[in-house]
Amino acid sequence: MSQFLLTVKELSSFLHVHPMTIYKQVKSGRIPFVKRNGLGIRFIKKNIEEWLEKGANRPPQIPEFLPKLDIPLEKYDKLRLKGDSAVSKKKQRWNYGDYGVFIRKTRSGVKSWYGWHYEKVNGRRRRIRKVIPGAMCREEVVLVARKRAGEAFKREHGLKNRKKDIGFCSFSKIYLEGYIMNSRRNWASDGYRLKKLTEFFKDVELGQITRSMVEKFRDSRRKAGNSESTVNRYLALLKKMFNFAIEEGYLEQNPMRGIRLHSERDTIKDRILTEAEESRLLSESSDRLRPVVKTALHSGMRLGEILGLRWANVNFSKRKIKVEKTKSRKARFIPVNSTLFDELTRLEKEAGRDGGVFPFKSVRTAFENACRRAGVKKLTFHDLRRTFGTRLLEKGVDIVTIQKLYGHSSVLVTQRYLHPDDEVSREAVELLSEKPAEGSRNGEVLTRIWPAKRDKSSERLPTTLFSMN
């Protein structure tokens, strides 16, 4: 053996380890070595001795996920699994509570460092022993065993490592591309709101955003002229974004917690198209717009549903329309009345059954011009959908049927669409002033008010069916 340069085999014999361990140390850069063309890997004996001396005197480093202790590592040696001495002929053991270290010697005298920790497996807490390959001293094995014990504790209790702080602009891009664009079809409005949010918060870290900052953003939107319902859309988007950050490990709690949204009761629209306005609007509409307006008034479909309607979804034999591309992503069926049936039949004869029923993408300009020429003010195309449901309610249709035609998930949503005329409300109140005829009973009055009400007294089951005999 040379006095200064050592080969891999000579160093493995000198350190009493396997040659593969030396190669692993070289690959990870943990052991000093030299490499020259034609010589291969060599080790300077002086550098190896300094490396060993430095490793023996190195204090153990405590990972960030565990609290730092002021107790020296040597004092833990008094806690051992058995016996007063940590040294035995075959094994050495060090117990540090939920984890520990021990050495095993082979018959040839080669030492192997092992670390153990407790972990819950199949509902039972068991001790897991694993060899620490490449470990040169006890301090290195303690670090690995301590880290494994911490990871097992987090898995057992469902804890997640918090990721590094990230700026609002950077995370908004992740939220837009990783969540909104994949989960929502109409994400353009949320993309616009997210742009306004990034202009306000800029590069502020998510963990530094407080409730007062959110309140300042609310005030800035009010000063910009946004309505209360529009501000609520911004706050709802911000709340979902923070919840997504919590799931991804960037936040621990939502700074929107405790912030209440504005009441939207005053923002409910009650614009209903009257019959006189309807006749003027249809007369001023173009040949392309008129069937779209009639479809909205007689089916209650949204504008996107109407423009996306295809002839394959129109069943003339059963007089039904199947609406597939809905807001709730649930298909619904709408009956076709005689007026709409005649209109669709005329369109089919003129254009055929190829492609869509209405082969154009937008009617906004044509609708606004028709309203201007007809003198119909403050009317949006969505108001035609409200007119559909309100007219059904005035004709005596129950609200559950209207909910089904609308495709709403709750009757409460349907109530926001229905606004009966004042004349209908006045007639309903006048029913209370009517006096029953002389000799009539209350049942006759109820039958006159609700003629469709069915008498279920004759449908009662006989009491003999419930008798024990």
| 281 and 392 share one domain | yes
Quote the domain boundaries for residue 98.
73-157
What is the reported pLDDT for 161? 61
Q: 6-20, 49-63, 186-200 — which is least confidently predicted? A: 49-63
Same domain, 304 and 338: yes
Domain end, chosen from 267, 300, 316, is at: 267
Compare 381 and 14 and report the one with higher pLDDT: 381
Total domains, the chain:
4
| Contact by Cβ (8 Å): 40, 9 | no
Q: Clarify whether residues 279 and 380 are in a common domain.
A: yes
Q: Tell me which of 369 and 111 has the higher pLDDT.
A: 369
Q: Is the pLDDT of residue 294 over 90?
A: yes
Tokens of 34: 């030299």
Burial of 27 (0-12, 13-18, 19+ CB in 10 A): exposed
pLDDT confidence band for 291 (50 / 70 / 90): very high
Other C-beta atoms closer than 10 Å to the C-beta of 241 total 24
| 297 and 263 assigned to the same domain | no
Report which of 173, 160, 140, 117 is spatially closest to residue 55, judged by C-alpha positions.
140
Residue 439 binned pLDDT confidence (cut-offs 50, 70, 90) = low
Shared domain for 279 and 374, answered yes or no, is yes
pLDDT at position 180: 82
Whether residue 311 sits in one domain with residue 198: no
Q: Are residues 211 and 339 in the same domain?
A: no
CATH of the domain at 206: 1.10.150
Residue of 14 and 299 predicted with greater confidence: 299
Whole-number percent of the chain with pLDDT over 70: 78
| Residue, of 274 and 27, whose pLDDT is higher | 274
Pairing status of strand 5-6 against strand 34-36: unpaired
387 has pLDDT over 80: yes
DSSP 262: P
Would 288 be classed as within a structural domain?
Answer: yes
Indicate the length of the chain as a whole number. 469
Q: Residue 402 pLDDT > 80, yes or no?
A: yes
User: 456: pLDDT confidence band, cut at 50, 70 and 90?
Assistant: very low
Work out the average pLDDT over 1-17: 78
Which one is predicted more confidently, 162 or 405?
A: 405
Is residue 231 included in any domain, yes or no?
yes
Does any domain span residue 65?
no
Same domain, 32 and 135: no
pLDDT over 90 (residue 372): yes
**Residue that is last in its domain, among 157, 185, 213:** 157
pLDDT in tens, 335-354: 999 999 999 999 988 887 77
- Domain end point (choices 235, 267, 299): 267
Q: Same structural domain for residues 263 and 279? A: no
Whichever domain contains 19, its CATH number is 1.10.1660
Q: Which of 227, 220, 226, 222 is nearest to 266 (CA)?
A: 227
Report, as an integer, the average pLDDT of 327-339. Answer: 87
Quote the CA–CA distance of 431 and 236 in Å, as a whole number: 44
| Residue 37 pLDDT exceeds 50 | yes
Mean per-residue pLDDT for 119-143? Answer: 86
What phi, psi does 312 have (nearest 5°)? -65, -20
Share of the chain above pLDDT 90, in %: 22
In this prediction, residues 108-124 reach a mean pLDDT of: 84
What is the per-residue pLDDT for 355? 81
pLDDT of residue 69: 43
At 224-250, the pLDDT tens digits run 988 888 889 999 999 999 988 888 888
Note whether residue 457 is domain-resident: no
Amino acid at 223: K
d(CA 441, CA 452): 18
Q: Confidence class of residue 446 from pLDDT cuts 50, 70 and 90?
A: very low
- 158 vs 137 pLDDT, higher one: 137
Mean pLDDT, all residues of the chain? 79
Same domain for 230 and 283? no
Q: What is the mean pLDDT of residues 125-140?
A: 86
**What pLDDT, on a 0 to 100 scale, did the predictor assign at position 160?**
64
Is the domain of 180 the same as that of 280? no
Q: Are residues 36 and 116 both part of a single domain? A: no
CB atoms within 10 A of CB 378: 8
